[in-house]
Amino acid sequence: MTPTRALVITGNGTNCEMEAAHACRLGGFDEATIAHIAEILSGEVRLDDYHFLNLTGGFLDGDDLGSAKAQANRLKNAAVHGSNERLVEQFTRFIDSGKLVLGVCNGFQLMVKMGMLPALDGNTLAQTVTLCHNDSGRFQDRWCYLKADTASPCVFTKGISKGIYLPVRHGEGKFLTDTPQTLERIEAGHLAVLKYSEADYAEPTMEFPANPNGSTNAIAGLCDPTGRLMGLMPHPEAFVHYTQHPRWTREQLPEDGDGLILYTNAADFVRNNLL
């Protein structure tokens, strides 16, 4: 049987690639490869050979032009060495073939600035939303409760009945849309799959610190209409085992951390739909 293969891109300032690869393996992928962006641009590694693409957290290019903007420009315009192909063509082909992409924190920032999310009309190269500086004006490092939209088409959050608890660590996590109409379409399509909430997961909140950045409509995570592309500011790879929970020595917790389900769902989807 064909092995399920996950790819984690590193380089130019990412810092969560080891955790993401571990989460993929723990979630059920047979292989989880960490590849530097230079290996992809050189043609040594090709996206076509994988089923699940991980764009991880970090500080791409030092966030010098705004979070992930330089990498977004690079990926849209760079050519793959030794071919007539631009790298963005591999990304487009990867998405069009029904595969999965997950962007976490800096990876989410990269996806929205490339235009991969929310891709309302299937156009994955037109930016319509962004992530900007937190309302607090400060970097936020804390744990957050995230209410799940159970009506969402999102592949990654399938089976989450109420919500999940994950850490955030970012300075530019405030979600904004280009127009009110874009926001309306996101909400109508149940694409705002995770929202910051209080501990009971009852309702989304705009109150700090439960909402750490002031995101519009408390949006913490977003998917495209197919449910196969997802981005979120909180870090699922940082809570895949109970010992990563901040109160693990004081509470009785399940062995699996809340973030693991995203990777388990991804592995299940690949086995059931792509092999």
- Set 24, 105, 144, 223: catalytic member: 105
Asked if the model's pLDDT at residue 226 lies above 90, the reply is yes
Q: What is the CATH number of the domain that holds 42?
A: 3.40.50.880
In the annotation, is 255 catalytic?
Answer: no
In the annotation, is 144 catalytic?
Answer: no
In this prediction, residue 63 carries a pLDDT of 86
What predicted TM-score, i.e. pTM, was given to this entire model?
A: 0.97
- Set 17, 19, 172, 237: catalytic member: 237
Average pLDDT, the chain: 96
In this prediction, residue 221 carries a pLDDT of 98
For residue range 57-88, list pLDDT tens digits in order. Answer: 999 988 888 899 989 988 889 999 988 899 99
β-strand partners of 53: 7, 101
CA nearest neighbour of 67 among 17, 104, 94: 104
Which of 29-38, 83-92, 127-136, 250-259 is predicted with the least confidence, judged by mean pLDDT? 83-92
**52-55/100-104 β-pairing:** parallel
Q: What integer is the mean pLDDT of 240-246? A: 98
In the annotation, is 105 catalytic?
Answer: yes
Specify the number of domains making up the chain: 1
In this prediction, residue 209 carries a pLDDT of 97
For residues 202 and 185, give the distance between their C-alpha atoms in angstroms, rounded to a whole number: 23
- Set 51, 170, 235, 245: catalytic member: 235
In this prediction, residue 196 carries a pLDDT of 98
Residue ranges making up the domain that contains 122: 5-273
Which of 71-80, 219-228, 244-253 is predicted with the least confidence, judged by mean pLDDT? 71-80
* Alpha-carbon distances, residue 159 vs 20, 151, 243, 270 (angstroms): 21, 11, 23, 16
Q: Residues near 217 by Cβ (< 8 Å), separated by ≥ 6?
A: 175, 183, 187, 192, 195, 204
